[in-house]
Amino acid sequence: MTTAKFLFSDDVVVSFELSGHSGAGESGTDIVCSAVSSAIFMAANTIIEILKLNPETVVRDGYLKLEMTSDDARKSKVITDGLYLHLSELQSQYPNNLKLERGVFDA
């Protein structure tokens, strides 16, 4: 199962983390993994390359974490809100393969 964790400060995403493999298919044919990976990398790349922000980022096989300052989080709010909505919809379609968690950021 893939787990996507979002940490909020007020109504703003300050961190998102994706881990695990969805198990919806074999490597290279897993549509849930492809959809989730594409969405998370699009959001991260937009924050870093288009908005030119510099979040703390960790990427390795089956894992991505991005954490921002509160100022940068506000600047990227539309992107992270869209990512959260997109993954929420995927979770409703594939509840056995994707789990979305929402928490509060403790500074």
Give the tens place of pLDDT for each residue, 18-58.
998 766 566 666 788 889 999 999 999 999 999 999 999 99
CATH number of 9-102: 3.30.70.1490
Task: Report the mean per-residue pLDDT for the chain.
Answer: 91
Per-residue pLDDT, averaged over 78-92, amounts to 96
pLDDT of residue 25: 61
The predicted structure's pLDDT at residue 20: 80
This prediction's pTM: 0.89
What confidence tier does 105 reach under pLDDT thresholds 50, 70, 90?
A: confident
What is the pLDDT at residue 83?
Answer: 97
Burial code (b: 16+ CB inside 10 Å, e: under 16) for 41-63 equals eebbebbeeeeebebeeeeeeee
Residues 4, 16: Cα–Cα separation, whole Å: 7
